[in-house]
Amino acid sequence: MEQNRREFLKMAVLGAGWLTFGGCSFESCLQQIANRPIRKDVNTLAANDPIIQAYKSAVSQMKALPAGDPRNWINQANIHANHCPHGNWFFLPWHRWYLTYFERICQKLTGMPDFALPYWNWVKDPTVPAVFWGDAGNPLYDSTRQIAPNQAIDPSLVGCSVVGTIMSDANFIDFASDPITLAQDQRTVAGFGSLEGTPHNGVHGAVGGDMGQIALSPRDPIFWLHHNMIEKCWVEWQFVRNNANTNDNNWTSRHFTEFFDPDGNPVDVQVGIGQLLPVLSYQFDSLPVVPSPCPATGLTPPPAGNQWAAAWEKFNTVKTRADQDALKARAQAGASVKLEEILRFPLGAPATIAVGRPARLRISAPPASLKMALSAGERVLIRFDGVTLNHTTDFFAKVFIAKPDAAASTPDSDPHFVGSFAFFNHDHGGAAVRGNFHLDASAAVKRLDLAGNSVEVNVVLTPFPKRVLKSNVLEIAATEIQIVKDVIERGVK
Ligand code: C2O
């Protein structure tokens, strides 16, 4: 009896967190985890798959809801227009919650409790998926897109080598964009990590139209599948590649109050609790973000074939109470994560770059020192600070080292290629907003035979195909090469 009572109390305590979170008791949580819907690659679904049919139906229903209903299509997009954080480390958790409540609204409206939002893997399929084209009769079509149906997004934004390098970055501060404090507004633009700055921003810009603008992008139904791919990247990064989120209070304690549940009631959610969403509310199929074979990235290669699927399987399958506790603990454990500066080589002058006139920025940074840092396990970053951001629909920037003849057509397979960054429109018609970008140049420095006392950084503005350029210059307030060290300590606050 006493044993049972203690067992019951223990369950009640353990269950409390789950109750407030998912509305399930400890035992039913187990059910919920086992049955959580599977978010699938949209290109593995037939055009008449029930998931695609349900998504079409949900979008149509949301468009038809009265303007006063927070679940109405435009109102859902306006949540983004008014609150979305970009260029800081709330980018990932905010969009995670945004998608989760959107998915729950779709489940309710379609009467399909196991509806799971599909994702668009632009690494594998760099064209906007076929079911999103057609005419006004297709609720998934958006006539404002500037990309053509069979036009692939540039591999220097979404290719397997570029995304593979990003996925191999173990540092949360790098992977998830720059830190801001609890006291700062959630929309403070600090700096873009490469997941946000390269494929995320790049896909927004390349698709163009509604997708190219912060205020309008969720009006294009492809937005939600694009962000679900970003979410899949984060889930794979944490649970399959075994990386740790930050445990910084400035991140875990942040609340968001702008979302609505399936009944249209406002909710108050927290970043730290959001780490349980991929454990409790949905799961992903076992396909890797970066399909193989892919040319070597020079960084940690992902586990091969079956091993990969097995890692997903292990994460997705929770059978016992012990599994459940372990997974929950792991989801929320985090680590003390820092990107420590070892040495800085500043350029010391602002740069103005024009389309058609690649920049040659010569930075006094001895290649021998850079190579020595790499062999000591440190990394080499190129930082671009104070970059003008109002170029969404025009171009993105490709970055090379020691490549004075780099051009927009130089491919990402060129050994001098470092990476790319793109701009998600921050032009609100007011004062120009600026942001920071940084790219990991370790692999390029390692494979190139660099001599002398300096490194030339080449920045090439690359217009999206068939765009009329509203702007053709980019200003960078400061460029520098940095040697940095990852400090990631699990179990330390
Ligand atoms: Cu807040 Cu990709 O958008």
Distance 484 CA to ligand 1 centre (A): 28
Angle formed at CA 132 by CA 127 and CA 138, multiple of 5 degrees: 160
Measured CA to CA in angstroms, residue 228 lies from 42, 137, 234, 379 at distances of 11, 24, 10, 30
Quick one: angle between helices 160-167 and 222-235, nearest 10?
A: 50
Residue 407, both tokens: 């051009």
Q: What's the angle, vertex CA 97, arms to CA 66 and CA 289, rounded to 5?
A: 120
9 CA from centroid of ligand 1 (Å)? 43
Q: What is the three-class DSSP state of 100?
A: helix
- The closest alpha carbon to 94, from 244, 184, 227, 205, belongs to 227
CB distance 305 to 423 below 8 Å: no
Structure token pair of residue 79 = 């949540």
Shortest-distance atom of ligand 1 to CA 98:
1
- Residue 405 alpha carbon to ligand 1 centre in Å: 34
Strands 191-192 and 434-440: parallel
Residue type, 475: E
Q: How far is the CA of 3 from the centre of ligand 1 (A)?
A: 51
The whole-angstrom separation of Cα 119 and Cα 129 is 10
Nearest atom, ligand 1, residue 91 CA: 1
* Ligand 1 pocket, CB under 6 A: 80, 84, 86, 95, 200, 204, 217, 227
211 near 458, Cβ under 8 Å?
A: no
Residue at 449: amino acid letter: D
| 87: number of Cβ within 10 Å | 27
Mean pLDDT by 10 residues, the chain (493 residues): 42 40 67 89 97 98 98 98 95 98 98 96 97 97 96 96 92 96 94 96 96 95 98 95 96 97 96 93 92 59 66 82 84 95 95 95 97 97 93 89 97 95 72 88 96 97 90 94 97 80
Protein residue whose Cα sits closest to atom 3 of ligand 1: 214
Question: Given this model, what pLDDT does residue 2 score?
Answer: 43
Ligand 1 mean position, distance from CA 176 (Å): 13
Bridge partners of residue 469, in order along the sequence = none
Q: Which atom of ligand 1 is nearest to the CA of 230?
A: 2
The whole-number pLDDT of residue 30 equals 80
The token duo for 420 is 């790319």
The residues that bridge with 480 in the sheet, in sequence order, are: 346, 383
The answer to whether the Cα torsion of 225, 231, 235, 241 is positive or negative is positive
Distance CA 254, CA 428 (A): 26
C-alpha 79 to ligand 1 mean position (Å): 11
Q: Which atom belonging to ligand 1 lies closest to the Cα atom of 85?
A: 1
**CA within 13 Å, CB half, 194:** 27
What is the model's pLDDT at position 320? 80
Non-local (6+) Cβ contacts of 208 within 8 A are: 144, 145, 146, 147, 392, 393, 464, 467
How many whole angstroms separate alpha carbon 480 and alpha carbon 344? 7
Q: How many CB atoms are located within 10 Å of the residue 139 CB?
A: 19
Q: What domains does the chain contain, in order, with CATH numbers?
A: 2-333 (1.10.1280.10), 338-490 (2.60.120)
320: left (phi over 0), alpha (psi -120 to 50) or beta: beta
Q: Are 351 and 460 in contact (CB under 8 A)?
A: no
Rg (CA), the chain: 23
- Interstrand relation of 395-401 and 417-421 (parallel, antiparallel or unpaired): antiparallel
Structure token digits, residue 85: 């954080």
Residue 84 CA to ligand 1 center (angstroms) comes to 7
Q: Which two tokens stand for residue 492?
A: 């330390």
Tokens matching residue 52: 């695609």
Atom of ligand 1 nearest to the CA of 223: 2
> What pLDDT is attached to residue 304?
59
- Dihedral in degrees, nearest 10, Cα atoms 445, 245, 269, 78: 10
Give the distance (Å) from ligand 1 centre to CA of residue 98.
10
* 338 phi/psi in degrees, rounded to 5: -135, 155
The region, left, alpha or beta by phi > 0 then psi within -120 to 50, assigned to residue 460 is beta
Residue nearest to atom 1 of ligand 1 (CA): 84
Two tokens at 416?
A: 């001098």
How far away, in angstroms, is 146 Cα from ligand 1 center?
A: 18
Nearest atom, ligand 1, residue 226 CA:
2
Q: How far is the CA of 491 from the centre of ligand 1 (A)?
A: 31
Are 89 and 173 in contact, with CB atoms under 8 Å apart?
yes
Contact predicate 417/165, CB 8 Å: no
> What number does the ligand 1 atom closest to the CA of 80 have?
1
Query: Ligand 1 atom closest to Cα of 203?
Result: 2
Q: Of all atoms in ligand 1, which is nearest to the CA of residue 94?
A: 1
Distance 74 CA to ligand 1 centre (A): 15
Please report the atom of ligand 1 found closest to the CA of residue 200: 2
Quote the ligand 1 centre to 177 CA distance (angstroms): 13
Which helix or strand (DSSP H or E) is residue 398 part of? strand 395-401
Listed residue (409, 388, 395) closest to 205, CA to CA: 395
Calculate how far, in angstroms, residue 409's C-alpha sits from the geometric centre of ligand 1.
Answer: 28
- Category of 245 on φ-ψ map: left (φ > 0), alpha (ψ -120 to 50) or beta: beta
